[in-house]
């Protein structure tokens, strides 16, 4: 089976949206469809026609999308008991969606047949076969989702297999074994999938796993090893409860580790970009700890690890990061030795020698700053500025004269207003600006921009996109040191900066100042300042 093509079935837009806090408007769903198609996904499940107006609008709108490879899939259930399939309104809506493929779920577990559907085992088998055949004869490819299959198999093996045979007789192209409750472990999935393959012979089997036991990816891979040729899942593991099996882990494992053929294999180096794209449209923060695609997936912090990775990358990296569109990162912290700093310096464009006195002095300075509360793991821009200041004598083209921030509560208006006054020396002249915002950091941010934009137009493109505060030495209460980390963007690049102080406004000023200064240093490097 190692040479069989594995079909990727993405249900981010259907099962993924059942996850807490995950929702896509129709335009976002259409953009994701285009990206998934470009990536090489085989099936894209778009929703359940008739379940809500948004899904109905999606199926109408997606007809206008010029897909090159993927098939759009509408999701629905078997006909209702005691109702002819052609008279069932929800089955008719599957036809009206006009998708080339349909994923149809039916009951595998007698508990659901008798207690949820409240029908007989024999009637349930007829419901499955009738509905699959009706849709197949209506020129729809049918992927049958055997809901709760593993629980049903363990409860009554013969009946669960009978439900698959009913779907296969009806004309289903794939029989997806669903671990709907996410409670089946790896060895069970492998053994049961093998038995299904033996029993059903020519039928193509798929796997649809949930991650409630934390093994969604593992059981999906086990099913493939046991003969499954379709894997259903979601990007970034979106989904109900804990989530669905994560395709951003499944796909590279199939291609790189198991050597399987996938239609998306040629585009594997775009996987990280696809993951971030979907997170952005979901307004969901990307998980840095995500295998393969996370920012921390190939990040090295300990000096021993960094030193070994510098000599032989795969000594501490299980794959080449570039295969999935990621990269090696070196995290500089108080654990850092010479190797870490050397790698980080080279990463940002400095070629230092291990035994140089400059490196020794810089390392001492770095550890002193971190002792005072600074941390550069996620603040690459501040780290690069530090290197330039220390090793190249970089000086910012502006200097702080002073600032003042005040907040007032306007009772009658029911709001709080903050005002910031900033004095900077720019080009030998003092610039004095005032700005307001809802909060003190926002006011300070606006005031800095106003002071710099005339002399440095590039600042107009910069905006703050994330602001995080961490209280250090929290036993000191309000007198504790505060670390502020911000992320900024100019619409193209994203960079992080850090500040630390026993005053939160001062820490914020340092991070904001570094953000603006980084833009100007970057322009200076390019000969634009």
What are 30-61's pLDDT values in tens digits? Answer: 999 999 999 999 999 999 997 777 888 999 99
Between helices 157-170 and 121-137, what is the axis angle to 10°? 20
Question: What is 254-279 written as a DSSP string?
Answer: IIIIS--B-TTGGGGGGHHHHHHHHH
List pLDDT tens digits, range 227-237: 999 999 999 99
Give the mean pLDDT of the chain.
88
Q: Which fold has domain 375-396+462-529?
A: Double Stranded RNA Binding Domain (3.30.160)
Per-residue confidence (pLDDT) for residue 450, from 0 to 100 = 92
**Two tokens at 396?**
């910012």
List pLDDT tens digits, range 371-412: 777 777 667 888 888 888 877 788 889 999 999 999 888 777
**What are the domain boundaries of the chain?**
7-281, 299-371, 375-396+462-529, 398-455
The helix/strand count (H/E) of the chain reads as 17, 16
CB 200 within 8 A of CB 163: no
Superfamily of the domain at 7-281: Aldolase class I (3.20.20.70)
Per-residue confidence (pLDDT) for residue 2, from 0 to 100 = 45
- 387 vs 238, 515, 522, CA distance in Å? 40, 15, 13
CA-nearest of 39, 44, 43, 38 to 58 is 44
Those residues with Cβ within 8 angstroms of residue 236's Cβ, 6 or more apart along the chain or in another chain: 12, 246, 248, 275, 278, 279, 284, 286, 287, 290
pTM of the predicted protein model: 0.73
Per-residue confidence (pLDDT) for residue 528, from 0 to 100 = 56
Cα–Cα distance, 151 to 164 (Å, whole number): 14
Per-residue confidence (pLDDT) for residue 377, from 0 to 100 = 67
The backbone torsions φ and ψ at residue 247, rounded to the nearest 5 degrees and listed phi first, read -70, -25
Same fold, 7-281 and 375-396+462-529: no
As its CATH architecture, domain 398-455 has 2-Layer Sandwich (3.30)
**Two tokens at 376?**
């550069």
Note down pLDDT in tens along the chain; length 529 residues: 445 899 999 999 999 999 998 989 999 999 999 999 999 999 999 999 977 778 889 999 999 999 999 999 999 999 999 899 999 999 999 999 999 999 999 999 999 899 988 999 999 999 999 999 999 999 999 999 999 999 999 999 999 999 999 999 999 999 999 999 999 999 999 999 999 999 999 899 999 999 999 999 999 999 999 999 999 999 999 999 999 999 999 999 999 999 999 999 999 999 999 998 898 888 888 888 999 999 888 887 655 555 555 555 666 788 999 999 988 777 665 445 566 666 666 666 666 666 667 777 777 777 778 777 777 766 788 888 888 887 778 888 999 999 999 988 877 777 888 999 999 999 889 999 999 998 899 999 999 999 999 999 999 988 888 888 887 765 555 567 888 888 888 888 888 899 888 888 999 999 999 999 999 988 887 765 4
């Amino acid at each position: 089976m190692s040479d069989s093509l594995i079909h990727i079935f993405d249900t981010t837009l259907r099962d993924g949206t059942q996850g807490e806090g995950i929702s896509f408007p129709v335009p976002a769903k259409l953009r994701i469809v285009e990206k998934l198609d470009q990536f090489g996904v085989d099936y894209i499940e778009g929703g359940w026609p008739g379940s809500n107006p948004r899904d109905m609008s999606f199926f109408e709108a997606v007809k206008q999308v010029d897909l090159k490879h993927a098939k759009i899939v509408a999701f629905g259930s078997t006909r209702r008991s005691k109702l002819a399939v052609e008279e069932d309104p929800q089955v008719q809506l599957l036809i009206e969606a006009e998708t080339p493929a349909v994923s149809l779920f039916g009951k595998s577990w007698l508990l659901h047949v008798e207690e949820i559907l409240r029908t007989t085992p024999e009637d349930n088998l007829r419901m499955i076969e009738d509905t699959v055949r009706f849709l197949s004869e209506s020129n729809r490819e049918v992927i049958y989702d055997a809901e709760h299959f593993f629980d049903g198999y363990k409860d009554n093996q013969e009946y669960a297999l009978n439900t698959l045979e009913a779907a296969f007789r009806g004309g289903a192209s794939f029989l997806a074994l669903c671990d709907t409750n996410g409670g089946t472990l790896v060895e069970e999935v492998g053994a049961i999938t093998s038995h299904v393959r033996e029993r059903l012979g020519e039928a193509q089997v798929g796997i649809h796993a949930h991650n409630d036991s934390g093994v969604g990816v593992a059981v999906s891979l086990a099913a493939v090893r046991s003969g499954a040729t379709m894997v259903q899942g979601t990007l970034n593991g979106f989904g109900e409860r804990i989530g669905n099996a994560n395709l951003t882990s499944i796909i590279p494992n199939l291609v790189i580790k198991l050597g399987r053929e996938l239609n998306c294999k040629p585009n594997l180096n775009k996987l990280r970009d696809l993951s971030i794209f979907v997170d952005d449209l979901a307004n969901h923060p990307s998980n840095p700890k995500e295998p393969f695609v996370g920012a921390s997936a190939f990040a090295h912090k300990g000096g021993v690890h960094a030193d070994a990775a510098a000599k032989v990358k795969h000594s501490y990296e299980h794959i080449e990061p570039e295969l999935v569109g990621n990269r090696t990162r070196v995290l500089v912290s108080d654990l850092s030795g010479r190797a870490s700093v050397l790698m980080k310096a080279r990463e940002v464009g400095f070629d230092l020698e291990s035994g140089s006195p400059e490196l020794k002095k810089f390392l001492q300075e770095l550890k002193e700053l971190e002792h005072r509360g600074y941390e550069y793991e996620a603040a690459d821009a501040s780290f690069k500025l530090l290197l330039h200041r220390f090793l190249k004598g970089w000086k910012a083209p502006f200097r702080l004269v002073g600032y003042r921030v005040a907040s007032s509560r306007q009772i009658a208006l029911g709001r709080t207003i903050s005002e910031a006054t900033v004095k900077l020396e720019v080009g030998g002249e003092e610039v004095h600006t005032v700005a307001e915002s809802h909060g003190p950091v926002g006011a300070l941010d606006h005031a800095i921009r106003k002071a710099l934009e005339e002399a440095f137009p590039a600042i107009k493109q910069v905006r703050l996109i994330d602001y995080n505060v961490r209280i250090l030495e929290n036993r000191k209460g309000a007198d504790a040191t505060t670390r502020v980390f911000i992320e900024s963007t100019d619409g193209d690049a994203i960079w992080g900066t850090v500040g630390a102080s026993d005053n939160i406004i001062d820490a914020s000023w340092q991070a904001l100042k570094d953000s603006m200064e980084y833009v100007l240093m970057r322009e200076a490097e390019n000969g634009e300042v």
